[in-house]
Structure 1
Amino acid sequence: MKHRIVLAVIVRDDRVLLGHRAPTRAWYANCWDVIGGHIELGESSERALVRECHEELGITVQRYQPVPVTLSDAEIEPSAFPVTQWEGEIRNMAPEEHDALRWFGPEDLGQLHLADPVYVDWLQGLLKHFQG
């Protein structure tokens, strides 16, 4: 059975917001990851996006669009959404999941320990698309 997840790619000023997953996490510990989580049974990916951004960052998403992504783990079925407009100030509302939040530019991504190696090229491509 595949695990359905939503990926919220928060983009601002040619940078992407990543959360550092706490070393104590059971899955993907001690690495940088996009914001997101499991899509609940009966929940749409868009609703999961809104919920996860509110739960983890304290923001209300206003502008987003779906983009394709295939992760290295074939057991994960991702739905990804770059978020380019939101209401509220970003803050770490889930410190048990992410022990830090930080903005990264495309030049930084190749130097990070990321949750999935496909993130480097994928996020660099998204940032290039959204360059202002």
Structure 2
Amino acid sequence: MTERIVVVGAALLDGGRLLAARRSAPAELAGRWELPGGKVEPGETPEAALVRELREELGVDCETAERIPGEWPLGSPYVLQVWAARLHPGSAGPQPLQDHDELRWLAPGEIWDVDWLDQDVAAVREVSERLDAGIR
């Protein structure tokens, strides 16, 4: 059986807006947009990995809320799981520190204005439906 590696993505929300991050690396992904996050390390919970990854990649302190239903393949052995997350009060605004060159807060009507990575589209669709239903 192949080992499964979980990659966590953040549906980082603020006032009903979703944060999108534009990749700067690797070259084959550069210029496309994603939900920020990264791999869960051995012995780490997905929630702890997401908090760590957002601190490393965006310089923010956040907390996870509910998991977005679903799991999306990223190419064996990786799978994407997404959590809604919120900035801690008083946390600095996110900055593109690692692997990204631009960040954009997207209102529900703007979600599809960016060129999402193919592997993130289904997850973003699920997040978008939940935003339309009123999660903040």
For 1:125, give the aligned amino acid.
E
User: Is 2:89 the counterpart of 1:89?
Assistant: no
1:58-112: CA deviation from partner (whole Å, max 9, x where unpaired): 2222352222233253533223210134241123252x40100110122222232
Secondary structure at the residue paired with 2:49? helix
- State how far apart, in whole Å, the 1-side matches of 2:47 and 2:124 are: 24
Give the % identical residues: 25
- C-alpha distance 27-38 of structure 1, shift in aligned 2 (>3 A): farther
Q: Which residue is 1:33 aligned to?
A: 34
Q: Please, what TM-score do these two structures have when normalized by structure 1?
A: 0.82
- State how far apart, in whole Å, the 1-side matches of 2:81 and 2:71 are: 9
- C-alpha distance 13-90 of structure 1, shift in aligned 2 (>3 A): same
User: Is 2:125 the counterpart of 1:121?
Assistant: yes
Q: Which runs of 5+ in 2 are unaligned?
A: none
Q: Please, what TM-score do these two structures have when normalized by structure 2?
A: 0.80
Q: CA deviation at 1:120?
A: 4.3
Superposition misfits of 4+ residues, deviation over 3 angstroms:
129-132
- State how far apart, in whole Å, the 1-side matches of 2:21 and 2:84 are: 15
Q: Which residue is 1:52 aligned to?
A: 53
Q: Which runs of 5+ in 1 are unaligned?
A: none
RMSD between aligned residues: 2.2
- State how far apart, in whole Å, the 1-side matches of 2:58 and 2:121 are: 24
Secondary structure at the residue paired with 1:70? strand
- State how far apart, in whole Å, the 1-side matches of 2:130 and 2:75 are: 22
- State how far apart, in whole Å, the 1-side matches of 2:104 and 2:116 are: 13
Alignment length, in residue pairs?
130
- State how far apart, in whole Å, the 2-side matches of 1:107 and 1:81 are: 21
